[in-house]
A and B are shown apart, each in its own frame.
Chain A
């Protein structure tokens, strides 16, 4: 599949799906993946000196300040689903903290919407 695509598709897909499989030890759905949204904010707590996968070290390096899961995915050139698996390990080990987005409700609350409106009006 990747062979048929021109250059725009892209770095992480170069090694083919096998590389992604190895990165995640074959896991596709970590236990906490469903708690990680694309806009869950991730912040590094501490960087261990011990061995981590290079991709996990890279995540810790760029998350000194809050970054969403989607931004991490863009910067490390890995699909969201793979980043989610890598992050689940980092969360379990306490290397990062997650600031969860507003839980999915039928409708967001008025106070939050007021804050969003206010912010947009001030742009």
Chain B
């Protein structure tokens, strides 16, 4: 193997440093197919330039391919972009974009554990891409909302038609979103948090 000298580690720029008073971090996952705008959304609302972290995984752990009897494992590398929003002096929110395809589900364990919820970003031209994701989230019981990323050249459908096409339950909020716009991305996140809040307060009332 080549012995390469690692390049020097450069930490956050001084303007990207969190105050020492930050005590709590929460996370939200942005999930969707390739090219649906996850990174755009994360980038538009993040206070730092989105960072990339990677994870490796042997193919055998992925659980899609039947590798029974196959001794040689191959390695998969998956990149995840994420951003950050300081919400107060004590509280910071991290946003992780993750691909929705089944072959990336191995990423979900560490990522969705402890997440507040998920925003499923969809492109009306490729609704099929979101079916797997929606089913999987419902299975996991992680609360989510659906954000319809408005691509300029995508045909317009009423929300009710999209909801029907995705077979989405009535209690899952849907919201229009322009992932390039900070305020619009922020509103998609707010829709999720309001939904979570409603779920939480309803649950505590019925106790």
Q: Mark A residues whose CB is within 8 Å of B.
A: 1-2, 5, 9-20, 37-41, 43, 54-55, 58, 61-63, 65-68, 70-71, 73-77, 79-81, 99, 101-104, 106-110, 112-121, 123
Contact A107-B96, Cβ < 8 Å, known A67-B18, A76-B9 = no
Residues from chain A with Cβ under 8 Å of B87 in the complex:
115-116, 118-120
Q: Is residue B182 within 8 Å, beta carbon to beta carbon, of the partner chain?
A: yes
Q: Is residue B26 within 8 Å, beta carbon to beta carbon, of the partner chain?
A: yes
Assembled-state Cα–Cα distance A101/B90 (Å): 12
B126 to chain A, nearest CB (A): 24
Q: Which of B26, B75, B189 contacts A112 (CB 8 A)?
A: B26
Q: Is residue B55 within 8 Å, beta carbon to beta carbon, of the partner chain?
A: yes
Residues from chain A with Cβ under 8 Å of B1 in the complex:
15-16, 18-19
Residue of A nearest to B27 (CB): A39
Q: Say whether A14 contacts B186, CB under 8 Å.
A: no
Q: Is residue B197 within 8 Å, beta carbon to beta carbon, of the partner chain?
A: yes
Residues from chain A with Cβ under 8 Å of B51 in the complex:
70-71, 74-75
- Taken residue by residue from 103 to 136, chain B's Cβ proximity to chain A (1 for < 8 Å, 0 otherwise) reads as 0000000110110100000000000000000000
Q: Which of B11, B82, B182, B200 contacts A108 (CB 8 A)?
A: B200
- Give the number of residues in B that approach A within 8 Å (Cβ atoms): 63
Residues from chain B with Cβ under 8 Å of A16 in the complex:
1
Residues from chain A with Cβ under 8 Å of B54 in the complex:
9-10, 12-13, 73, 79
Contact A113-B193, Cβ < 8 Å, known A11-B7, A65-B17, A80-B53 = yes
Residue of B nearest to A41 (CB): B25
Residue of A nearest to B81 (CB): A74
Assembled-state Cα–Cα distance A39/B82 (Å): 11
Q: Is residue B24 within 8 Å, beta carbon to beta carbon, of the partner chain?
A: yes
Contact A116-B114, Cβ < 8 Å, known A61-B11, A67-B18 = no
Q: Say whether A77 contacts B26, CB under 8 Å.
A: no
Q: Mark B residues whose CB is within 8 Å of A.
A: 1-4, 6-7, 9-12, 17-20, 22-27, 45, 51-56, 74-75, 77, 79, 82, 84-88, 91-94, 96, 110-111, 113-114, 116, 141, 143, 182-183, 186, 189-190, 193-194, 196-197, 199-201, 203-204
Q: Which of B3, B6, B96 contacts A77 (CB 8 A)?
A: B6
Q: Which of B24, B55, B82, B86 contacts A102 (CB 8 A)?
A: B24
Q: Say whether A54 contacts B116, CB under 8 Å.
A: no
Q: Say whether A79 contacts B53, CB under 8 Å.
A: yes
Assembled-state Cα–Cα distance A102/B23 (Å): 10
Q: Say whether B20 contacts A65, CB under 8 Å.
A: yes
Q: Say whether A66 contacts B204, CB under 8 Å.
A: no
Q: Which 8 pairs, one residue from A and one from B, show the smallest C-beta to C-beta distance? A: A119-B87, A62-B11, A74-B51, A58-B9, A39-B25, A104-B114, A73-B53, A113-B197
Q: Say whether A120 contacts B11, CB under 8 Å.
A: no
B178 to chain A, nearest CB (A): 16
Residue of A nearest to B51 (CB): A74
Residue picked from A37, A67, A110, A120, most chain B C-beta under 10 Å: A120
